[in-house]
A and B are shown apart, each in its own frame.
Chain A
Amino acid sequence: MDDTDRRLVNTLLGGFPVEERPFAPIARQLGLEEPEVIRRLSRLRAEGVLTRFGPLYDAERLGGAVTLCAMQVPAERFEEVAAIVNSFPEVAHNYERRHALNMWFVLAVERPEQIEAAVARIEAAAGLEVLSLPKLDEYFLELKLTA
């Protein structure tokens, strides 16, 4: 990644134009040619510096629902339970964390009423209690981490 890549990533964190040739104003702003912007962006995405480039959707406003779940998994069952939890397509992310509640995953479903059923199915499959901690208020969600 060079300085131009960094400027490009920081410029493109949000506010990408919705117009016929959206890369043109970005290129002008950075003093680059339009094809170079597209080429650099393609490379950053291919290399995994960017996981995605496009619209970021709000799951709830699309009619779906998301919740954060936590589980207390006995150490000797950790790998087995991780495989069970990960096998559910509703589980988007799953992290091991250092705490008595040592497994944390995000559950995303297309309709809010499916959350409860998904939690119950995971509890039954794992034989462990799942704490569902849905967001009650959102104080911020913004990309501030610059390159």
Chain B
Amino acid sequence: MIDATDRRLVAATQAGLPLVERPYHALADELGLSPEEVMRRLRRMLASGVIRRIGAVPNHYRLGWTENGMSVWDVEEARLPELGPKVGGLPFVTHCYRRPRRPPLWPYNLFAMVHGRAPAEVAAKVEEIRDLLGGACRGHTVLTSTRILKKTGLRLAG
């Protein structure tokens, strides 16, 4: 678990690191900690998975990945432990989750976000997932987003 000092570190870094030669030293000054402690805590949170990664978060659209589709699949539950990681491992799938079905409106239990540089590319990739799932899949659809209504980053602490 993380402690109060970790939470201060999360609050200070969730919008980003200072872009200076010694970013962890700058953080340490800001928080009244030693640089060694800042780095030790960040390393520990990386090791425990509290921090997924440290790096750049690009705007997909600006990198040319302008098309995306939320593909959703009705997959035999017993086959998901085997098939889920295969779908998630495809190079064009960024997020892949098992979620609950809510019948009758929502029969789908596997979500895979597919990205492409053109609409036809997304459709071709969805076909690739369909082939991979084969007979274990009873149905699927793709929900394209027509509008972003709100987009604020997650605020996790502080």
Contact = CB atoms under 8 A, between A and B. Distances in A.
Interface of A: 9, 12-16, 18-23, 34-35, 38, 41-42, 44-45, 47-59, 61-64, 66, 68, 70, 72, 82, 85-86, 89, 91-101, 103-106, 108, 110, 131, 133-147
Contacts of B55: 12-16, 53, 56, 143
Contacts of A103: 149
Interface string B49-66: 111111111111011110
A139 B63 contact: no
A18 B24 contact: yes
Contacts of B14: 54-55, 57
B63 A97 contact: no
A139 B88 contact: yes
Contact of A58 (B22, B50, B100, B144): B50
Contacts of A137: 80, 84, 97-98
B124 interface: no
A144 B91 contact: yes
A77 to B, nearest CB: 14
Contacts, number: 242
A57 to B, nearest CB: 6
B94 interface: yes
Given A92-B151, A99-B143, 15 more contacts: A14-B55, A16-B54, A23-B21, A50-B56, A53-B56, A57-B50, A57-B156, A62-B156, A85-B149, A85-B150, A131-B105, A131-B106, A136-B98, A139-B98, A140-B94
A38 B20 contact: yes
A67 B144 CA distance: 19
20 contacts: A13-B55, A19-B39, A23-B21, A38-B19, A50-B57, A52-B57, A55-B14, A56-B52, A57-B154, A57-B156, A59-B154, A61-B50, A68-B99, A92-B151, A135-B99, A138-B98, A139-B97, A140-B93, A142-B94, A146-B63
